[in-house]
């Protein structure tokens, strides 16, 4: 789980990791009543003010309330209502910013505190809870100040997301009351913290939560033994720590309370079955993505009956899936991610071997990038809670079962790069939560069902500006390659099939659609005149079809459009112009239209002859077809694109990102976003 999206998490009504909220990883909250005597201990007020002096930036209102006598009323400060001492300092940056690469970066944001962690905090002798996470408090040497190790009463220490460098001070081992230690660095923005010896951890007998994700622990061979000396541990996050192996033998596992273990993005390179963690049968969340683990699923998997999340993507597992009926007792499973391994087997056999008890629980099934064969079975519709189904890049054959239309929770359906044939079932139009339908690169025939126009494509009531923030992080003119997150980009990709017939006009009612790719099919007829109603469209690719007739001038209504390709069709007439159309593909605009010998006017070099009936004709035409109600509906929907889904994506995918990142070179079907360009130009 992400350390940075907790705030968002609470906004999201579904909780895929219920154990996160059952107190397991929640810090203690020291409520306090201000009323009464008021005031605070003067020495502590002085210490806080001295801390404030170490903060060099002020562009946040975080410390604005830090004035007046009663420091217990200052924002982020809590005092004990019994003793009046400051016991809690909660100065987490609530508003982490994404940097140019789309990752969280404490030092890129305006809302972060900059400066240093002042030694004056040592005067807060009763401090139990210190949260300075996601701020840019690097001091002069960018290291975790050793003095933190002297705050002897701390139970909760959160310095996550502060991009420190250098050695993690072993003085932290002096914090013998510590229950929560979070030094984790959010993906890819971490500094270069390291440790060559973590034996000091064993001096923290009450530790329940440990995150050192992103801290280089390379060369520490006995790390499982060290952790095994801390029985209260419930959560261990050691993702991207350059750990060399996890196959140490632990004759006696004391970690009987362990619920979450995230070891993704290390370099284990041994067999999956030899991992020590298979003994931790209390686990609810096991994430091992991107570790070069090979071999088979061990039989012990069958004993992990509490498992909700099983993430082993981007490894080299060669199992013939479910041979030993491994999953038979795993009734709590909600997420199965085995993407990008070398697993073989019949998809039908797999689906049938998933226990009955998971059918109403499973939310995500990602088996993409393996070698699954066979046809998609009808029983897929029994998995009624499925939200993400990804079976891309396998060897599946046969039709897309119409029963998929029963999976009304689906937000993402990815079946691309298989050998599916037959036609697209109109039942898919019933998937009203869908935000991404990607069935490109198959052998699908028949026409595009008009029912796809019924897709609502993402829930409504979302603020598009947050989506904008996420997508605006790109540099102008670059095609950002998103992993994971982009699955929720509102998109329909049917390219590279053998679809025939006309583009159904109904599809133009998909006012929230951002990406439509129908390229490389055999579609004929005209581009629907109403295409201008698709107000959210950012990328439109109709290239390599047999489309004829004129290009509707309503295209110039698409004010979000930043990429278009109409090449290699049989389009004719004058190319429409408009402020937005004129800035598309500036490098070589004629490439948009190349391979359509009948087109004339700029940017192609052929002149249109004589009078110009096209503009008037089409204007009239589009006026006739213009339905204000549809337009309004479209406008609203258009602005209301899937923020919810994007954060859902983060929720699901953050930990997977590491794996995806390492996979990056391998994945040949990358998703390109053009949105970025658009939002970036907006931002200027």
Ligand X SMILES: *[C@@H]1O[C@H](CO)[C@@H](O)[C@H](O)[C@H]1NC(C)=O
Report the interface residues with ligand X, using CB under 6 A. Answer: 3-4, 6, 27, 31-33, 58, 64, 80-82, 92, 94-95, 110-111, 133-134, 149-150, 158, 160-161, 170-171, 173-174, 180, 182, 194, 200, 209, 216, 218, 242, 245, 247, 268-270, 274, 299-300, 303, 344, 371, 373, 381, 395, 397-398, 402-403, 405-406, 421-422, 427, 440, 495-496, 517, 519-520, 539, 541, 563, 672
The two tokens of residue 621 are 């035409």
Q: Are 677 and 563 a contacting pair, CB within 8 Å? A: yes
Rounded to the nearest angstrom, the gap between the alpha carbon of residue 483 and the centroid of all alpha carbons in its chain is 8
CA distance 331 to 271: 25
| Structure-token match 């996890």, residue found | 246
- How far is Cα 327 from Cα 302, in angstroms, rounded to an integer? 6
> In this complex, which beta carbon is closest to ligand X, that of residue 480 or of residue 496?
496
d(CA 69, CA 38): 9
- Residue 553 CB, nearest distance to ligand X (Å)? 22
Residue whose CB is less far from ligand X, 92 or 574: 92
Question: Minimal distance in Å, beta carbon 217 to ligand X?
Answer: 8
User: Scanning the structure block, which residue is given the tokens 């170490």?
Assistant: 54
Beta carbon nearer to ligand X, 47 or 561: 561
- Angle between helix axes 643-663 and 464-471 (nearest 10 degrees) is 20
DSSP code, position 622:
H
Encode 416-431 in three state secondary structure.
CCCEEEEECCHHHHHC
Based on CB atoms, which residue is closest to ligand X, 495 or 569?
Answer: 495
Q: How far is the CB of 632 from ligand X (least distance, A)?
A: 28
Task: Decide: 267 and 239 in contact? Cβ < 8 Å.
Answer: no
Closest approach, Cβ 158 to ligand X, in A, equals 4
Least distance in Å: CB of 637 to ligand X? 22
Q: Which two tokens stand for residue 590?
A: 């004629």
CA distances from 464 to 137, 209, 449, 460, 634 (A): 31, 35, 29, 10, 14
Residue from 481, 510, 474 nearest 494 by CA? 510
Q: Which of 435, 441, 434 is nearest to 415 (CA)?
A: 441
Q: How far is the CB of 205 from ligand X (least distance, A)?
A: 15
Give me the least distance between CB of 265 and ligand X, in Å please.
9
Kindly state the tokens that stand for 626: 């213009």
- In angstroms, rounded to a whole number, what is the distance separating the alpha carbons of residues 519 and 540? 9
Could you identify the residue written with the tokens 């359906």?
A: 413
Residue 352 CB, shortest distance to ligand X, in Å, is 16
Judged by CB, which is closer to ligand X: 417, or 622?
417
b/e map 594-603, b = 16+ CB within 10 Å: eebeebbbeb
Q: How far is the CB of 93 from ligand X (least distance, A)?
A: 7
- Matching residue, tokens 């096209």: 614
**Measured from the CB of residue 247, what is the shortest distance to ligand X in angstroms?**
4
Nearer to ligand X, 362 or 600 (CB): 362
Q: Which is nearer to ligand X, 423 or 572 (CB)?
A: 423
Note the maximum CA span of the chain. Answer: 91
| Cβ distance to ligand X smaller for residue 379 or 635 | 379
Considering beta carbons, is residue 350 or 600 the nearer one to ligand X?
350
- CB 543 to ligand X: min, Å: 7
Q: What DSSP character marks residue 520? A: S
**Which residue, 496 or 675, is less far from ligand X as judged by CB?**
496
Q: Are 190 and 219 in contact (CB under 8 A)?
A: no
Of 447 and 630, which has the nearer Cβ to ligand X? 447
Of residues 141 and 408, the one with the C-beta less far from ligand X? 408
CA 188, CA 109: separation in Å to the nearest integer? Answer: 16
- Residue with smaller CB distance to ligand X, 34 or 606: 34
Helices 675-683 & 464-471 angle (0-180, nearest 10): 100
Give dist(CA 287, CA 650) in Å, integer.
15
Quickly count: other Cβ atoms within 10 Å of residue 26's Cβ. 11
> SS3 for 157?
strand
Identity of the residue, 153 or 403, whose beta carbon is nearer to ligand X in the bound complex: 403
Q: Min. distance of Cβ 51 from ligand X in angstroms?
A: 13
Q: Whole-number minimum distance, CB 165 to ligand X, in Å?
A: 11
Q: How far is the CB of 58 from ligand X (least distance, A)?
A: 3
630: which residues sit within 8 A by CB, 6+ positions away?
A: 509, 533
């Amino acid at each position: 789980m992400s350390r940075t999206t907790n705030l968002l998490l609470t906004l999201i009504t579904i909780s895929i990791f219920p154990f996160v909220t059952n107190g397991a990883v929640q810090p203690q909250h020291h409520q306090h009543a201000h009323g009464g005597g008021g005031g605070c201990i003067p020495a502590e007020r002085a210490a806080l003010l001295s801390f404030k002096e170490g903060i060099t930036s002020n562009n946040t209102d975080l410390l604005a309330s830090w004035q007046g006598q009663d420091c217990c009323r200052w924002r982020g400060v809590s005092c004990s209502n019994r003793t009046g001492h400051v016991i809690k300092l909660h100065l987490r940056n609530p508003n982490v910013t994404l940097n140019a690469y789309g990752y969280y970066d404490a030092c890129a944001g305006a809302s972060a505190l900059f400066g240093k962690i002042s030694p004056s905090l040592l005067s807060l002798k009763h401090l139990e809870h210190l949260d300075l996470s996601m701020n840019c408090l690097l001091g002069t040497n960018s290291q975790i100040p050793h003095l933190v190790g002297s705050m002897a009463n701390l139970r909760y220490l959160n310095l996550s997301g502060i991009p420190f460098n250098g050695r993690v001070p072993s003085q932290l081992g002096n914090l013998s009351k510590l229950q929560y230690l979070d030094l984790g660095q959010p993906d890819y923005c971490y500094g270069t913290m390291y440790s060559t010896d973590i034996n000091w951890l064993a001096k923290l007998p009450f530790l329940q939560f440990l995150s050192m994700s992103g801290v280089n622990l390379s060369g520490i061979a006995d790390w499982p033994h060290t952790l095994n000396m801390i029985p209260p541990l419930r959560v261990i996050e050691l993702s991207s720590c350059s750990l060399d192996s996890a196959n140490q033998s632990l004759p006696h596992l004391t970690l009987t309370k362990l619920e979450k273990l995230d070891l993704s993005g290390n370099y284990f390179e041994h067999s999956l079955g030899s991992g020590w963690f298979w003994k931790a049968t209390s686990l609810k969340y096991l994430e091992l993505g991107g570790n070069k683990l090979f071999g088979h699923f061990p039989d012990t998997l069958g004993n992990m009956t509490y498992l909700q999340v099983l993430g082993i993507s981007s490894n080299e597992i060669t199992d013939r899936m479910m041979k030993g009926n491994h999953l038979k007792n795993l009734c709590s499973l909600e997420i199965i991610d085995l993407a990008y391994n070398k697993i073989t087997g019949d998809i039908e056999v797999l689906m049938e071997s998933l226990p009955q008890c998971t059918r109403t629980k499973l939310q995500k099934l990602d088996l993409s990038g393996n070698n699954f064969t066979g046809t998609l079975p009808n029983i897929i519709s029994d998995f009624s809670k499925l939200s993400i189904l990804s079976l891309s890049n396998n060897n599946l054959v046969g039709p897309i079962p119409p029963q998929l239309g029963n999976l009304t929770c689906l937000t993402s359906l990815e079946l691309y790069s298989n050998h599916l044939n037959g036609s697209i079932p109109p039942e898919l139009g019933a998937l009203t939560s869908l935000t991404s339908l990607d069935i490109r690169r198959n052998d699908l025939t028949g026409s595009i069902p008009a029912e796809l126009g019924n897709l609502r494509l993402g829930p409504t009531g979302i603020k598009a500006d947050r989506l904008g923030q996420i997508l605006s992080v790109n540099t102008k003119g670059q095609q950002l390659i998103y992993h994971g997150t982009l699955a929720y980009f509102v998109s329909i990709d049917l390219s590279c099939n053998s679809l025939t017939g006309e583009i159904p006009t109904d599809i133009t009612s998909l006012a929230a659609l951002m990406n439509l790719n129908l390229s490389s099919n055999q579609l004929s007829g005209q581009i629907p005149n109403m295409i201008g109603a698709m107000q959210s469209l950012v990328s439109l690719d109709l290239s390599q079809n047999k489309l004829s007739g004129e290009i509707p001038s309503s295209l110039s209504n698409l004010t979000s459009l930043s990429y278009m390709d109409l090449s290699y069709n049989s389009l004719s007439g004058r190319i429409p112009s408009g402020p937005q159309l004129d800035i598309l593909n500036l490098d070589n605009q004629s490439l948009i239209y190349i391979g359509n010998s009948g087109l004339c006017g700029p940017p192609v070099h052929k002149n249109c002859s004589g009078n110009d009936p096209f503009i008037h004709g089409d204007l009239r035409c589009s006026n006739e077809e213009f339905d204000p109600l549809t337009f309004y509906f479209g406008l609203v929907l258009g602005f209301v694109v899937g923020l919810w889904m994007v954060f859902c994506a983060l929720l699901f995918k953050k930990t997977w990102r590491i794996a995806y990142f390492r996979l990056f070179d391998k994945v040949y079907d990358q998703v390109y976003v053009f949105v970025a360009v658009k939002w970036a130009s907006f931002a200027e």
